[in-house]
Amino acid sequence: MRDVFQPCTYILANHKNGTIYIGVTSNLTQRMWQHRNGTTGGFAGRYRTYRLVHFELFGTMEIAIGREKQLKRWHRQWKVNLIEADNPDWRDIAFDIGAGPIAPAMDAETSSA
């Protein structure tokens, strides 16, 4: 199966109104698998931000990267407002894009946190 190239920005959270992580990728389903299986490390892994709460699709990586930089400069409340405009409950929308569940080991870590 060929990987789908679809530039996008995405926002992860560890729970409603929790820690927010903003990223950019060309394959959101694959990137969610990486986050949910602990292969990314860094900030997202350290703060267990595995819940996909928002994403935006773009035509080019350049535009997606520009939007990622813009979002990272925003005040927290603006980010919360963006998430809640389409996802007021901060529901994990990863299943909506075909991403699987959080890996059992990662889920146990999240539950105990």
Task: State residue 103's pLDDT score.
Answer: 64
Which pLDDT score, from 0 to 100, does residue 45 have?
Answer: 79
Listed as ranges, residues in the chain with pLDDT below 70 are: 1-3, 103-113
**What was the pLDDT predicted at 4?**
72
Separation of alpha carbons 111 and 108, rounded Å: 5
Predicted local distance difference test score (pLDDT) of residue 105: 55
At residue 97, the pLDDT reads 86
Residues 6+ apart with CB under 8 A from 27: 3, 4, 5, 6
Give residue 102's identity as a one-letter amino acid code: I
Span 8-112 CATH architecture: 3-Layer(aba) Sandwich (3.40)
Give the domain ranges of the chain: 8-112
| pLDDT tens track for 83-112 | 999 999 999 999 888 877 776 655 545 444
